[in-house]
Amino acid sequence: MNEFEDNDIVCRHLQLTKSEIVKSIRDKQLTTFEQVQDETDAATVCGSCASDVEAILEEEIRKRKDG
Ligand code: FES
């Protein structure tokens, strides 16, 4: 679990909220951190949000597996 609410900014450089990142992950069925970077540009400026973005991705992958 990560500590973000849907409308919280996860990547402040790109002004990306958790829900925007989750939407990309779900719509495009992303599975790797690099794919999330390609799609959203998250964590491509300072990189300090990388672990948070990864945590969100992992949570989504877990949900996908659980159905
Ligand atoms: S906060 Fe995401 S790249 Fe800086």
Q: What is the chain's pLDDT, residue by residue, as a tens digit (67 residues)?
A: 578 999 999 999 999 999 999 999 999 999 999 999 999 999 999 999 999 999 999 999 999 998 7
Residue 63 is encoded by which pair of tokens?
A: 């949900």
Pairing label, strands 9-11, 16-17: antiparallel
Q: pLDDT at position 38, please?
A: 98
Q: pLDDT at position 28, please?
A: 98
- CATH architecture of the region 9-66: Orthogonal Bundle (1.10)
**Rounded to the nearest whole angstrom, what is the distance from the C-alpha of residue 25 to the centroid of ligand 1?**
18
Decide: 46 in ligand 1 pocket, CB within 6 A: yes
Tell me the domain boundaries of the chain. Answer: 9-66
Q: pLDDT at position 1, please?
A: 56
Is the pTM higher than 0.85? yes
Decide: 47 in ligand 1 pocket, CB within 6 A: yes
Q: What is the DSSP string of 45-57?
A: SS-TTHHHHHHHH
**Rounded to the nearest whole angstrom, what is the distance from the C-alpha of residue 49 to the centroid of ligand 1?**
5
Q: pLDDT at position 46, please?
A: 98
**Rounded to the nearest whole angstrom, what is the distance from the C-alpha of residue 18 to the centroid of ligand 1?**
13
